[in-house]
């Protein structure tokens, strides 16, 4: 079923003229940018916005959109050999193709997007691939990225679903689900540290939690809600907030916006990177729900 046949999904021209999809059903509404294959908004019925999107986000081809759920692929962070190549890979800088949209038996809407190699991607990373993105918009938001090696050589990748969550006020929020988990603190020369208890969001954070498949929960007293963040196909979780000093140098983030966001990312990062044999695939999933 294509989008014109699915009453819950409507194509539109978004900010900057970027192609987008609006999804509205009985359970939730969402906004998805085909540029980047990126969910920008998700509002379950009766709830407030769950995802953070910066008021200063670029909506320009060649620039990433700051917020929602960007797709970091085929590398996470800087390119391992060439820092001039795009940060977090190229998937979030390409326009994806809508391949189907349908209503699931549950009443949720499923959107399928696809990205394959092109002259543009081959100039950055000379390997054929196929990415399939399934986005289920309902009382839960589920995003599943399937990476397929369609070439004749092994395909080594790191990746993340770089989810930004909207907060009432960062300093009053804490995260559970990572207690007794070792993490790499990238702000401390990659120091290995053990998480003790809940994680407070009250300073700059850039951590890669290792060997964990656990769900996380954001406890937000101001918005009187908890956001449950589950994942599949991942043994690494990234938590990030740039805080005040670093955000001042970010043109696409307002000076105070760090107070209203935190990123919890389902990843295949560092030693959790995946190498796919020819014809093999791997699926990375993140799923969100709001509880009270």
Residues classed as catalytic: 162, 265
Q: For residues 288 and 227, what is the distance between their CA atoms, to the nearest angstrom?
A: 7
- The C-alpha angle with vertex 279 and arms to 151 and 118, in degrees rounded to 5, equals 35
The label of the residue with tokens 């966001």 reads: 261
Q: For residues 266 and 24, what is the distance between their CA atoms, to the nearest angstrom?
A: 26
Assess contact for 208 and 193: CB atoms under 8 A: no
Beta strand 19-24 with 9-13: parallel, antiparallel or unpaired?
antiparallel
* Own/partner pairs, 218-221, CB within 8 angstroms, 24+ separation: 218/165, 218/167, 218/173, 218/175, 218/262, 218/264, 219/173, 219/174, 219/175, 219/176, 220/167, 220/168, 220/172, 220/173, 221/168, 221/172, 221/173
Phi and psi at 222, nearest 5°, equal: -70, -40
The full length of the chain comes to 292
Assess contact for 106 and 137: CB atoms under 8 A: no
Helices (H), the chain: 119-124, 243-247
Q: For residues 89 and 82, what is the distance between their CA atoms, to the nearest angstrom?
A: 11
Q: For residues 72 and 150, what is the distance between their CA atoms, to the nearest angstrom?
A: 19
């Amino acid at each position: 079923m294509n989008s014109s046949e699915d009453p819950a999904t409507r194509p539109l021209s978004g900010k900057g003229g970027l192609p987008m999809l609006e999804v509205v059903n009985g359970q939730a509404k969402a906004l998805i940018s085909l540029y980047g294959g990126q969910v920008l908004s998700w509002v379950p019925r009766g709830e407030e916005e769950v995802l953070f999107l910066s008021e200063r986000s670029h909506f320009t081809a060649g620039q990433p959109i700051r917020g929602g759920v960007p797709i970091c692929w085929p590398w996470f962070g800087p390119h391992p050999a060439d820092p001039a190549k795009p940060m977090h890979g190229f998937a979030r800088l390409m326009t994806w193709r809508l391949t189907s949209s349908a209503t699931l038996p549950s009443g949720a809407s499923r959107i399928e997007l696809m990205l394959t190699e092109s002259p543009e991607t081959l100039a950055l990373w000379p390997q054929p691939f196929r990415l399939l993105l399934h986005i289920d918009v309902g009382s839960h938001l589920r995003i599943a990225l399937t990476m397929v090696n369609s070439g004749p050589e092994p395909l080594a990748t790191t990746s993340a679903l770089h989810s930004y969550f909207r907060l009432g006020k960062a300093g009053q929020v804490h995260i559970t689900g990572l207690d007794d988990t070792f993490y790499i603190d990238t702000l401390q020369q990659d120091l290995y540290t053990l998480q003790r208890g809940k994680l407070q969001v009250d300073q700059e954070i850039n951590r890669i939690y290792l060997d964990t498949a656990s769900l996380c929960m954001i406890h937000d007293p101001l918005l009187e809600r908890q956001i449950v963040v589950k994942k599949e196909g991942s043994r690494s979780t990234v938590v990030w907030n740039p805080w005040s000093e670093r955000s001042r140098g970010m043109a696409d983030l307002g000076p105070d916006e760090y107070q209203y966001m935190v990123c919890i990312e389902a990843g295949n990062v560092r030693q959790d990177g995946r190498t796919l044999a020819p014809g093999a695939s791997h699926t990375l999933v993140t799923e969100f729900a709001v509880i009270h």
